[in-house]
């Protein structure tokens, strides 16, 4: 049996609307799984209700060794592992940590079009201090976008302009 430090994170595709089933199945296999959820307020005609919403629909993250691929693929709800050719494509630990930090911040999150690496910033202070991502401009607000390359997906959080500083002197601006 391998230790957790020998394992890497991978993105696992799951059947539609089966993210929580897949996460439970992977956990029951003794694997570490992470399903990023965010609290959203949903309005019906007669009431408001806070719900947990999947941040990356159709995906669950799982930490395992490539030799455990069959265990992952036979878990309930799992369809495949995001791969390059026949080799599972690992997700960088820093990307998982950044997504966790965004979810745990409690700030409103929004799905964002994937942006390529190269236009990076770092948050200088506040609860998300040291978080690295891409800065974009959305209307009158600034957002830091954290990308998960293996999924080709990103998530953004609104920040005050004075909370960000360029990383390595690179500063890019996008108008939304």
Q: What are 69-107's pLDDT values in tens digits?
A: 999 999 999 999 999 888 899 999 999 999 999 999 988
Give me the number of domains the chain comprises. 2
What stretches of 82-152 adopt beta strand conformation (E)?
A: 83-84, 87-88, 90-91, 109-112, 120-123, 132-138, 141-148
Residue 85 and residue 100 share a domain: no
Single residue among 47, 73, 91 that ends a domain in this structure: 91
Contact criterion met (CB below 8 Å) for 114 and 145: no
Residue 40 and residue 65 share a domain: yes
Supply the pLDDT for residue 115.
Answer: 46
Q: Is 173 inside any structural domain?
A: no
Whether this prediction's pTM lies above 0.75 is answered by no
Judge whether residue 58 has pLDDT over 60: yes
Residue 154 and residue 84 share a domain: no
Judge whether residue 125 has pLDDT over 90: no
What's the rounded mean pLDDT across residues 49-54? 87
Single residue among 72, 91, 110 that ends a domain in this structure: 91
Single residue among 37, 62, 91 that ends a domain in this structure: 91
């Amino acid at each position: 049996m391998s230790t957790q430090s020998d394992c890497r994170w991978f993105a696992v595709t799951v059947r539609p609307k089966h993210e929580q089933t897949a996460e439970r199945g992977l956990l029951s296999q003794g694997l570490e799984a992470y399903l990023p959820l965010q609290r959203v307020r949903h309005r019906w005609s007669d009431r408001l209700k806070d719900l947990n919403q999947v941040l990356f629909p159709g995906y669950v993250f799982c930490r395992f060794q490539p030799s455990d691929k069959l265990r992952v693929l036979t878990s309930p709800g799992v369809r495949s592992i995001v791969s390059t050719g026949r080799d599972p494509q690992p997700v960088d630990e820093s990307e998982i940590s950044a997504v966790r930090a965004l979810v745990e911040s409690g700030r409103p999150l929004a799905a964002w079009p994937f942006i390529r690496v190269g236009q990076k910033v770092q948050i200088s202070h506040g609860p998300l201090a040291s978080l690295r991502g891409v800065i974009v401009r959305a209307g009158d607000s600034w957002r830091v976008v954290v990308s998960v390359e293996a999924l080709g997906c990103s998530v953004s959080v609104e920040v005050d302009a004075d909370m960000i500083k360029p990383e390595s002197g690179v500063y890019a601006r996008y108008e939304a």
